[in-house]
Amino acid sequence: MASAASVKTAQSLPAARGVSEARQVAIELTGAVLMAACGHLMIKYGLNTALAVTHTSLTVRILSYLLMPRVILGLAVYGIGTLLWIAVVSKRDISYLYPITALNYVLITLGGMWLFGELVSWRRWIGIAVVITGVVVLQTSSGEKKQ
């Protein structure tokens, strides 16, 4: 016969698993967003540092870009982010998750500014603030539930 302590422990296991699953989803989602942004920035960096490919067809230009090591690395990083995204979407509602990917706008804008010296107008910052506000509103009002 099971003791009261073992029954109590067994009953608390699902709750403990839920916390650890929520943490895992948060880590995977954060990784997916960060990897997507880093992948895009690495692709841009690879294209910025490449010799200009001109006077060729679009197909030849795209193929030459796809053979650049930094572009390949950027695509690989983006691909890992996509795999993390697949893992997350298999566990939660996409209507809850997808708005979070809008944070890529923020990360890529900051990366463009810091890495490439791009100028960001105050209007763009207002747009980014609207995006962040929208993500916060959607996440706090979503009533997240597992699929």
Give the least confident one: 14-23, 40-49, 89-98, 122-131.
14-23
pLDDT at residue number 69: 92
Q: How far is CA 71 from CA 29, 46, 79, 85, 108, in A?
A: 23, 5, 12, 21, 16
Say whether pLDDT at 53 is over 90: no
Instruction: Tell me, rounded to whole angstroms, the distance of Cα 29 from its chain centroid.
Output: 6
Q: Return the C-alpha torsion angle 110, 28, 70, 109, nearest 10.
A: -10
Question: What's the pLDDT tens digit per position in 91-127?
Answer: 998 988 888 998 999 999 999 999 999 999 999 999 9
Domain boundaries, the chain: 21-141
How high is the pLDDT of residue 108?
95
Instruction: State how far the Cα of 135 lies from the Cα of 35, in Å rounded to an integer.
Output: 19
Q: Which amino acid is at 144?
A: E
Q: Is the pLDDT of residue 12 over 80?
A: no
Q: Which amino acid is at 114?
A: W
Give the pLDDT band (50/70/90) at residue 63. Answer: confident
Give the pTM.
0.76
Does residue 128 surpass a pLDDT of 80? yes
